[in-house]
Every structure is written in C-alpha cells, then in structure tokens.
C-alpha cells in the first residue's frame, strides 16, 4: 500500500472518530437538558402552588398532589427505562420521552381544571423517569474510561442544580407573568430539543427488538416502589400509627421483595439483579442512598429552622440554601473532572471531609446564630454533597458489564427517590418524638399563637440527625474506591463508544 493511501485512510479514520465524538456530545447534551427540564418542573411547581390553588379553588391537601404524584410516577417509571433501552434505539427512546413531556407541558399550559393539570404532571414525570437512567447510561457507555466521571459530573447539573433552582424560577415566573408562563417555557424547550434531536441523533438499530416487557415484574415494581414512596410521603401528613403510612409501607416492602425474587427467575427481567454481584456497585448504592436521604432531610429542615426558630423570612431561607444551588452548578462538573484526573478516592475524601465538617458545624446552630453563619455552614456542607454525587455514581457503575449499566442506573435512581422521601420522614419523626417529650416554646416567639412544632427539641433532633447521618455518609463514600485514576486506559487517542 502506498504511503498516500495509508495517510488517506488515517485521516478518514480520524474524521470518523471526530464525527462520532460530536454525535455523542450532541446526544448527551440533549438528554441532559431534557432531564434538567424534568427535574426543574418537579420542584418549580412548589413555588407556584399558591397561585394554582387560588385559581382552581383547591385545598392544600389536594394541591400537594401536583408534587406528590410527580415523585410517585417518576419513581415508578424509572425501572421501565431498562426495557426501553433494549427494545428501542436511542433516537426512538429520546423522541418517546420528549413526546410525553411535550404533551404534559401543553396539558398544563391550557389546563381548564385540576384534573387536566394533574394529568399533565403525570406525563412530565413519565418522561423524566425515561430520561434519567438514559442520561447516566450514556455517560457510562458512550464515553471512554477516563472521561466517564466528567460526563457524570455534567449530568449532575440535571440531578442537582435543576431541582435546586426550580423553586426560584417557578416563583419568579409565577409572580411576574403568571404560573402558566412556566409551562410556556417548557413547551419552547421541548420543541427546541426535539428539533435538535431530529438533526443530531442518527437512526440506529434497536439492541434487542425481541425484548418483551414482563407485565408481572412491572406491576410488582410499581406497587413496591410506589408503596414505599407513598408511605414516606404520607409520613409528613399523618401520625405514625396511621394506616395511610403502615399499609403502603408494608405492601410496598412485600411487593419489592417479590419483585427482586422474580428478577432472578425470569428470562427477561425488568432489572437484572446481577448488578448486585459487583461489590463496588453495592457500596456505591448504599452510599448514594444515604447521601440522598441526608441531603433531602436537611434541605427540608433548614427553611423551617430559619423561618421558625430564627424568625426569618422565606427570602432569607432561600439565601441560606443558595450556596447549595451554586455548588451544584459549579462543583458537580469540577468533581467529575478531578475524579478523572486524580481518581475517585481523593475527591471522595475531600468532599466527605467538607460534608462532615458542615454537619458538625450545623450541630451548634441555635436561635441566636446569625444567618450568615448558617449560610456558611450550609455552604460547607453543600460543597461536600456536590463533590460526592457525580463521583459516587460513576464509580458505582464503572465495574458493571455494559449490558446491565442501565439496570444499575435505573434501580439506584428508584431507590434514591424512596430514600429522599425517607430522609424527610425521618426528620419529621425526630421532630415529633422530641416535641412530645419537651413541649416548650421560645419566650421570644413574636406571635400570640405558637407554631405547630416545638422548636427547641426540634433543633436538637436536627443537630443529631445532621451530624450523625452526614458523617456516616462521608465515611461510607470516602473510604472505598481506587486511589488513582485509570490513566492507563484513557488519553488523547481514546475513541468514543457507539451503541
């Protein structure tokens, strides 16, 4: 072969690799933005509930179903994403998810009544449940080793920043333009993403067109995860002796056990339980769930602490939580890059130290603590959380065989949703227990009618929870994992995976 023919083939190969790389970047960007829109919608409605309830004449209990139903449906839908990833191509998977979200956003935009509005929320939650596992699967299978943690860090923007900034965007748009304006924004985003997907995502064959959906497994998964999510969600509204808590909790646990047993026996499991054969996945799974429970529990309690015990405003409570939003935007990608450069262990150790330090500092907060000190403590803790999310996710999935990465991602996301509800429920339980033992009120309380929760015992419960739980998470996330990056398999000449 002549030298110019060899050179021509080399240039053609480099051009093909570059084209595949840009295709992966475009696909990943579309899925991340779509997932971010879903998580944004999940929390933005919290800030718009007042206006929505006023327009439709809803009670608080009924209005809360706009957020509760989203969480339930999202957790139920996630396991189905593994079937979709086998049965359909990535292009088809993305368009199905975008179609669900667009229909839901249009339904909410023109909703004449609460029923239509709730149906729109369900459609959006289904779309988000389809996209979240796909996003993580792309990060772990379409990017080469040495860049997977960076990709997962970028995905962390959708998982961390979007839900944190959601109430701010929703509240601002509802106040200035009306609550329907937020769904106008979602419709525009979905149309833009659909147009981009039509151009950027090339048609490809489905991995397994013969894959079938095990309806029994789907029913067990729905009742299992749905029961747990409903029980943990109800814990903030009912006493712990209420059947509205124990009935779905027991049934959810029972069906989840049946689901896991069935996955080990059927030929086409909805989620392969081989994921738990990996010790690394098991450790990461536990650490992520504990981290999510702790994060959501303290996120619930900080605004109540600021507005109740400290007598602050909603704006001041938002300012205290603002560092977490900024940290999620900046530190998630940064932690991913550092993980690929120096390895997961140093990043997890440093982030765990920040998390534990912030928790210990918060254990000394009381009614006289200046808000800037509370903000600083929360900022330190937020740095730790943002530094652990992406690295723990990529590390836990890294050793799974490629065909079951989607299974590991889906099961972990569903479990994290349940643990998020569990974290808030545990916090409510600690408040209730402490309050029943010491029913005292601050003498400086400005109102003639005290709040429904006794703040001094509540503060003590929060301090114990924050310090003990987050320190445990920091330890579980930091002590495991390789101490050096996998530089021997990554570098300038690595190529991107295809489907």
Between 34 and 326, the more confident residue is 34
Strand segments (E) across 314-422: none
Across 25-34, 230-239, 287-296, 424-433, least confident range:
424-433
The arithmetic mean of pLDDT across residues 460-483, rounded, is 48
pLDDT, residue 97, reads 94
The arithmetic mean of pLDDT across residues 94-108, rounded, is 95
CA 262, 264, 270: angle at the middle one, nearest 5? 65
Give the pLDDT band of residue 16 (cuts 50, 70, 90): low
pLDDT above 80 (res 153):
yes
Between 129 and 63, the more confident residue is 129
For residue 283, the Cα-to-chain-centroid distance in whole angstroms is 18
Closest CA to 70 of 102, 97, 34, 43: 43
pLDDT, residue 123, reads 95
Per residue in 356-387, pLDDT (tens digit) is 888 888 878 777 888 888 888 888 888 888 88
Left (φ > 0), alpha (ψ -120 to 50) or beta: where does 454 sit?
Answer: beta
Give the pLDDT band of residue 443 (cuts 50, 70, 90): very low
pLDDT, residue 287, reads 87
pLDDT above 90 (res 418):
no
Mean pLDDT over the full length of the chain: 79
The arithmetic mean of pLDDT across residues 182-208, rounded, is 90
pLDDT, residue 295, reads 74
Which DSSP string corresponds to 93-107? Answer: HHHHHHHHHHHHHHH
pLDDT, residue 63, reads 79
Between 85 and 99, the more confident residue is 99
pLDDT, residue 233, reads 75
């Amino acid at each position: 072969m002549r030298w110019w023919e060899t050179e021509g083939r080399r240039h053609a190969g480099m051009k093909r690799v570059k084209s595949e790389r840009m295709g992966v970047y475009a696909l990943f960007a579309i899925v991340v933005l779509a997932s971010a829109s879903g998580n944004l919608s999940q929390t933005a409605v919290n800030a718009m509930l007042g206006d929505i309830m006023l327009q439709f004449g809803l009670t608080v209990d009924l209005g809360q179903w706009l957020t509760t139903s989203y969480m339930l449906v999202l957790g139920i839908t996630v396991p189905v994403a593994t079937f979709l990833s086998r049965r359909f191509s990535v292009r088809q998977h993305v368009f199905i998810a975008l179609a669900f979200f667009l229909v839901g956003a249009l339904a909410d935009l023109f909703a004449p009544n609460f029923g239509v509005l709730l149906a729109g929320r369900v459609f959006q939650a289904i779309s988000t449940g389809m996209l979240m596992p796909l996003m993580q699967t792309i990060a772990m299978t379409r990017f080469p080793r040495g860049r997977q943690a960076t990709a997962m860090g970028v995905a962390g923007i959708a998982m961390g920043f979007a839900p944190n900034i959601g109430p701010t965007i929703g509240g601002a748009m509802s106040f200035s333009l009306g609550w329907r304006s937020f769904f106008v924004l979602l419709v525009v985003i979905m149309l833009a993403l659909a147009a981009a997907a039509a151009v950027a995502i090339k048609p490809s064959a489905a991995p397994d067109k013969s894959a079938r959906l095990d309806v029994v497994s789907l029913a067990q998964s729905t009742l299992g995860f749905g029961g747990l999510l409903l029980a943990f969600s109800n814990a903030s509204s009912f006493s712990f002796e209420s059947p509205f808590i124990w009935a779905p909790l027991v049934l959810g646990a029972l069906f989840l056990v049946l689901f896991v047993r069935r996955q080990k026996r059927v030929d086409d499991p909805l989620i392969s339980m081989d994921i738990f054969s990996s010790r690394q996945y098991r450790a990461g799974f536990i650490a992520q769930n504990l981290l999510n429970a702790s994060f959501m529990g303290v996120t619930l309690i900080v605004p109540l602490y600021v507005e109740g015990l400290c007598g602050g405003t909603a704006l001041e409570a938002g300012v205290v939580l603002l560092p977490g939003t900024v940290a999620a935007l900046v530190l998630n990608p940064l932690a991913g890059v550092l993980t690929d450069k120096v390895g997961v262990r140093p990043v997890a150790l440093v982030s765990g130290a920040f998390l534990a330090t912030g928790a210990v500092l918060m254990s000394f907060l009381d009614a006289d603590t200046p808000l800037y000190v509370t903000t600083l403590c929360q900022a330190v803790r937020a740095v730790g959380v943002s530094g652990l999310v992406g690295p723990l996710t990529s590390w836990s999935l890294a050793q799974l065989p490629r065909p079951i990465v989607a299974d590991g991602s889906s099961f972990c996301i569903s479990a994290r949703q349940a643990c998020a509800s569990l974290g808030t429920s545990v916090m409510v339980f600690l408040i209730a227990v402490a309050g029943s033992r010491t029913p005292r009120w601050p003498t400086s309380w400005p109102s003639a009618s005290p709040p429904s929760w006794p703040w001094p015992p509540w503060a003590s419960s929060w301090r114990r929870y924050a310090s003990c739980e987050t320190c445990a998470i920091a330890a579980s996330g930091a002590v495991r994992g390789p101490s050096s990056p996998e530089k021997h398999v990554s570098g300038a000449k690595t190529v991107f995976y295809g489907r």
